[in-house]
Amino acid sequence: MRATSGEPGQANTFDPTALKCVGILAARHKRRVADAVRELLGWLSARGVEARILEEHARGLGLEELAAGPDELVERADLMLSLGGDGTFLKTARLAAPRGLSVVGINLGGFGFLASIPRSDMLGGLADIMEGRFRVQRRLMLQATVWRKDKSVASFSALNDVVVGKGAFSRLFRIVTSVDGERVSDLPADGMIVATPTGSTGYALSAGGPAVDPEARVVIIAPICPHTLSARTLVVPAKRVVEVSLPDPRGEDVFLTADGQEGFSLVTGDRVEVQEAPFSAHLVSPPDYSFYAKLRGKLGWGSHR
C-alpha cells in the first residue's frame, strides 16, 4: 500500500482494508449533488461499506434513513467524505480532525482548491484509495479562544483561518497583535487574519499574504486593509501563540470567524488567542496530488503565452 503523510514519522491514520463505514457531508445547494450521493451510496454498498450522512444534509437529500448527528457520525465512521466545494470540505475537516479521522474531498463546486478528486473521477479516485493508492497529508489546524475579563467565553477550531473583522459598519478599528506575549503591531485596520498554510491561498492571499506550501508548520498573520503603508504580512512558527486584542471602543461591531463559517461577536477589551490546535487534519488524496499544480491551475499560474 502506498501511503505517505505530511510529516516524517507521522503514522498513516487511514487503513482502507479496515473500512466499514463512511461518514458523508454533502453540499445541499450544489447542483447534481443528490445524483452524486446516490451514485456513491450504490458504489459503497456493492463493496460492503456502510454509509451515514450528516443529519441536516440527509434531510435535504431525502435520505433520512441514513441520517446521523455529528457525534454519531464521527463515532461510527472510519473515513469522512466531503461532496461539495471548499466550504463543505472545511466543515468536514473541523468535524473529523478531533477524532483523528481522515477526509477525502470530492469537488462538486467551482473553485475547489481543497477537494482533491473531481466529480468526473469520483468512483475511480475512491477505487484507487480503497486499493491503497493514496497519500495522507497532515495539515496544521488552529485553535482560537476568546478571553473576556480573563475568562474563556468561546473556542473554535479552523483549518483555513481565524479572522477578527468588522461587522456591518464601514469603519476602521484599532487592533493590537502580539506573538508569544510580545507586541508586534498596533494599528487601525478592517481586521486581522491568522491563517494556516492551507488557508494561505484563501482570504489571506486576497489580503496580500504569501502562498505557503500546506505541509509547512507556520502561521500567517495578515492585516486587512491597514491604514498605514508600512504594515506587512508576518509568518511565524506554528508553535507561537498569536493574540489579537481590541482596546478601542470602536471595536464594538467586530466579529471573530473561523473558516468563514462559525462566528462570535466581540466587544472592547476582548482578546483572541490563536495557537496550533492539539489535533491536525488528515487529508487523503491521490498519490500524484500536487500543491504546485493547484497553484498553476486554480490561480492562473499556468504557462507563458
Residues labelled catalytic = 86
- Would you say 24 and 81 are in contact if contact means Cβ atoms under 8 Å apart? yes
> How far is Cα 166 from Cα 254, in angstroms, rounded to an integer?
4
Strands (E), 202-253: 218-224, 234-237, 242-245
> How far is Cα 246 from Cα 5, in angstroms, rounded to an integer?
39
Pure H helices in the chain? 33-46, 55-60, 70-76, 86-96, 122-130, 203-206, 291-298
Say if strands 281-285 and 191-195 run parallel, antiparallel, or are unpaired.
Answer: unpaired
In the numeric block, which cell numbers belong to residue 38? 446516490
Pure H helices in 85-224? 86-96, 122-130, 203-206
Distances (CA, A) of 27 to 35, 72, 192: 12, 19, 29
The position carrying cell 480573563 is: 150
The position carrying cell 489580503 is: 207
Give backbone dihedrals phi and psi of 95, rounded to 5 degrees, phi first: -75, -40
- Would you say 117 and 286 are in contact if contact means Cβ atoms under 8 Å apart? yes
> How far is Cα 229 from Cα 82, in angstroms, rounded to an integer?
41
- Would you say 280 and 212 are in contact if contact means Cβ atoms under 8 Å apart? no
